[in-house]
Amino acid sequence: MDTAAEAVRRRGYNGVSLDQIARDVGIQKSSIFYHFSSKSELIAVIFRRFSAQIFSFLDHTAGNESRAGDRLMAYIIETGSFVEEGESICMSIALNIDRESLQAEIVDDLVTFHQTNLAWLTDTFELGLKDGSIADIGNPEEEANACLALVDGAQLVARAHRDSKLYDQATLLLRSRISVSNPD
């Protein structure tokens, strides 16, 4: 499943073959069908696992970080980790491109994933309005939408040039609005 997840993030749904995944793992592709009934199901399972990991991260961050600036900074760093060496992107982006090849169930999960991220970011910017840890906040919902677009697009830019530093550069202006706490 780890191998399949990485393959999807690097080559998209239509770009991966079960044969290639099986070869990377060191088994025969027919063995995959003992664990998953179809390619669709395999992708559905790994996306739900990925989605659950991110939701867990969001809950954990909201529970542990009391300041909006710290929450947002953790989000930007976490999302940047998907870029790796500029060869990969977040799975939801990769699957969204190949959306028309996916079954309706996974497409619904993709929408839910996006909406959950947007709602979390909106809450974060609303908190930022109160605690002042993020500068120049306009409408929280608009900020959340722009922030999600920025971190997604920053992954694309970094991948386009195979350089993870471009993710950091593209998000620099957003990060400069954050006054992080210094817990000692």
The footprint of DNA (CB under 7 A) covers 16-20, 22, 26-31, 33-35, 37-40
Q: Which of 175, 128, 133 is nearest to 151 (CA)?
A: 175
When asked if residue 103 is in the footprint of its own copies (CB under 8 A), the reply is no
Q: Which of 98, 159, 95, 150 is nearest to 121 (CA)?
A: 150
Selection from its own copies, DNA, none that 3 binds (CB < 5 to 8 A by kind) is none
In whole angstroms, the minimum distance from the beta carbon of 91 to its own copies comes to: 12
How far is it, in rounded angstroms, from Cα 94 to Cα 10? 8
The gap between the terminal CA atoms of the chain, to the nearest Å, is 40
Selection from DNA, its own copies, none that 38 binds (CB < 5 to 8 A by kind) is DNA
User: Cβ closer to its own copies: 41 or 141?
Assistant: 141
When asked if residue 70 is in the footprint of its own copies (CB under 8 A), the reply is no
In whole angstroms, the minimum distance from the beta carbon of 155 to DNA comes to: 24
Burial class (CB in 10 A: 0-12, 13-18, 19+), 58: buried
DSSP type of residue 134: B
How far is it, in rounded angstroms, from Cα 24 to Cα 4? 9
In whole angstroms, the minimum distance from the beta carbon of 150 to DNA comes to: 33
How far is it, in rounded angstroms, from Cα 161 to Cα 119? 31
In whole angstroms, the minimum distance from the beta carbon of 37 to DNA comes to: 6
Which residues make up the interface to its own copies (CB under 8 A)?
10-12, 14-15, 89, 92-94, 96-101, 110-111, 114-115, 138, 141-143, 145-146, 148-154, 156-157, 159-161, 166, 169-174, 176
